[in-house]
A and B are shown apart, each in its own frame.
Chain A
């Protein structure tokens, strides 16, 4: 092989290696980028169960808490007073601007029977829902009342 051809081959070889390396880097970078995800985000908490607890702990004029009224209503099969008190509390303390959607219901754990519900009026929206529940004991330790609470709140 002539000297001129050898040098030409050498240059071509270097170009070829550079091309292969560049191609490999691009391939791996693209392939990796699709599969390896790095994400840093902050978790946000919610106060929904503290709100529910506060509702259930609120006392009426006879010094009975809402939870006790619910238990008493459960035995009497008349939830009028419990619902009325809950609606009044929501009217006074619930942030309707931020959380226009709310839904509270009470279920007997033993019978899986729905006892009552209090819910927001109006159309459902796309606000993300957060939920919690609280158990209220009764005289029968096996027969708890479960209070489910769902809120739909706008993200801030």
Chain B
């Protein structure tokens, strides 16, 4: 190749190189795209999950508290049995059986549902109520960083309903039913007898915010039993 001959291949190569470079800059690598690299995304995600969980836990804790207030109030007003029983305890009856914990659980479940919360477990021991909701779950899965954050939702409150005393009376009345004794012979608890009906009012020394009056008050569980028909009538 003489010296003149090199001119055309060089021009062609240069043009090709220019076109390729232009194609790469303007088409492949979007000129409008900015490249940002933020350090700490993963760490921020982790702390954000913690903050979100704390905020949710805070809300749920209070929602449980107000649900419990309302449930205890409703439970007391019903005398520990279904509202249709008018506070009358009838043992072994389908609707008016004083299955206290179970009746309370049903009311609490309904109240919690209003806040979109689901009761997972309820324990009542020594006048303390332990409410357990489903765990809060947070996940993050990105590149080489992943985490799973489970938050337990367990709340403990003192009960405004004296479950200990109510259960004691329940056992005493149950024994009465079995032995066929008079109610006053079975229990020492204060009561008022009008005809065959014996009325009880059990209070716990704890104030709660009452939803109707919006005042802090103690609540009383008022219930009654018919001395002549303490148990369900069997046909």
Q: What are the interface flags for B120-148 relative to A under an 8 Å C-beta threshold, 1 for contact and 0 otherwise?
A: 00000000000000000000000000000
Any chain A CB within 8 A of the CB of B233?
no
Contact of A49 among B17, B51, B115, B214 (CB under 8 A): B51
Structural contact, A31 and B25, CB atoms closer than 8 A: yes
Structural contact, A36 and B34, CB atoms closer than 8 A: yes
Apart from the given pairs A37-B36, A49-B51, A139-B66, 6 other A-B contacts in the complex at a CB distance below 8 Å: A10-B6, A13-B11, A39-B37, A43-B40, A57-B58, A134-B58
A135–B66 Cα distance when bound, in Å, is 14
How near does chain B come to A156, taking the closest CB pair, in angstroms? 15
Interface size range on B against A: 35 or more
Residues on the A chain within 8 Å of B4, using CB: 6, 9-10
For chain A, the count of residues having a C-beta within 8 Å of the partner chain is 42
Tell me the interface secondary structure of chain B in the complex.
Answer: helix
Residues on the B chain within 8 Å of A41, using CB: 36-39
How near does chain B come to A93, taking the closest CB pair, in angstroms? 17
How near does chain A come to B139, taking the closest CB pair, in angstroms? 19
CB-CB under 8 A for A35 and B32, given A28-B25, A137-B63: yes
Contact of B37 among A6, A40, A141 (CB under 8 A): A40
Name the residue of chain A whose CB is nearest to the CB of B3. A10
